[in-house]
Amino acid sequence: MNRSKLPVALLIFSMLATGCSATTNFEAAQQDTQLRVKNSSDTAVPRTDKFSTTSFGNYDFEATLNGHPPMYGILPLKFNGGYLAVDILLFAPATFFNLREVFPYYQFDVASGVIRYKKNESDPWTTFTPPPHEAERAKAYFAQTQ
């Protein structure tokens, strides 16, 4: 490989490699909440976890707290416009793998049945209530994995 092309190749490789996963922080409004998320083996909250980016997949979750019914749903994911541009310019098939990723911050409120999420630590929380069809899908997923 030509020496002048090596830095460009390394930059492209690093962009593609970093686009493969995203780190998130899970916390809970109530102490003693347990959280199971598809493709994660940990259940503790708070915790930091890493998830693959995805275009078509979802991350089902089950949040439990003694004295409350379990809360089921699918994590809200953010769209990666920058990844889309890079995919189109450099490797279009990558759009099948990395258009969406987890938000960096989630808070589960089992007592209220809501998830809060945000992109930056200083941002206000966005509140999301999982719709019944997503809750049923996640419930079915965790029922088959037990």
Domain holding 105, by residue range, is: 6-145
Residue 79 within a domain? yes
Q: Determine contact, residues 126/116, Cβ cutoff 8 Å.
A: yes
Task: Say if 140 falls within a structural domain.
Answer: yes
* 110 domain-assigned: yes
Output the CA torsion sign for 37, 114, 53, 95.
Answer: positive
Identify whether 1 is part of a domain. no
pTM of the model: 0.79
| Tally of domains in the chain | 1
Residue 84: inside a domain:
yes
Q: Are 29 and 74 in contact (CB under 8 A)?
A: no
In a domain, 112, yes or no: yes
Q: Work out whether strand 71-74 and strand 114-118 pair parallel, antiparallel, or are unpaired.
A: unpaired
- DSSP tag of 2: -
Is residue 11 scored above 60 in pLDDT?
no
State pLDDT tens for residues 28-68: 999 999 999 999 999 999 999 999 888 778 999 999 999 99
Query: Is 138 inside any structural domain?
Result: yes
